[in-house]
């Protein structure tokens, strides 16, 4: 598999997200001690409002057209993720993501790069 390829993650939590059952995802996440990596995951077009993203590895994930409004990603790994055309009103992003990286990804689909300055 290519390292940049979108992938299907073989885990019940991922399946719950793909079904947009955020309540079940958050409950399942809280009940687990080890979380799977969602790196390179396909979240395009999904309604994810209310997601508890704390501690999630969402690196290199694809969120094109997803509804991410109000999600706190501050404690998630978002490096390399793409949010082209996503709804991001009220999102809280990690400190290492500068505003221009977020805007480039939102408007052009580029992958967000973490700043080395912070």
H-run or E-run covering 31? helix 22-31
> Cα separation of 66 and 83, whole Å?
8
Q: What is the residue extent of each domain of the chain?
A: 1-118
- pLDDT the model gives residue 22: 98
**Fold (topology level) of 1-118:** Pectate Lyase C-like (2.160.20)
Average pLDDT over residues 17-33: 97
- pLDDT the model gives residue 117: 73
- pLDDT the model gives residue 6: 72
| Cβ-based neighbour number of residue 60 at 10 Å | 22
- pLDDT the model gives residue 28: 97
- At residue 118 the predicted structure's pLDDT band, cuts being 50, 70 and 90, is low
Q: Assign residue 71 a region: left if phi > 0, alpha if psi is -120 to 50, beta otherwise?
A: beta
| Cβ-based neighbour number of residue 107 at 10 Å | 11
Average pLDDT over residues 9-35: 96
pTM for the predicted model, two decimal places: 0.91
């Amino acid at each position: 598999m290519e390292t940049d390829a979108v992938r299907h993650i073989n885990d019940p939590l991922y399946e719950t997200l793909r079904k947009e059952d955020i309540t079940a995802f958050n409950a399942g996440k809280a009940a687990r001690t080890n979380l799977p990596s969602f790196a390179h995951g396909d979240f395009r077009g999904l309604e994810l409002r209310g997601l508890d993203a704390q501690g999630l590895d969402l690196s290199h994930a694809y969120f094109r057209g997803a509804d991410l409004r109000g999600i706190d990603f501050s404690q998630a790994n978002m490096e390399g993720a793409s949010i082209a055309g996503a709804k991001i009103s009220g999102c809280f992003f990690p400190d290492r993501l500068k505003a221009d990286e977020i805007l480039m990804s939102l408007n052009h689909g580029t992958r967000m790069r973490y700043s080395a300055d912070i």
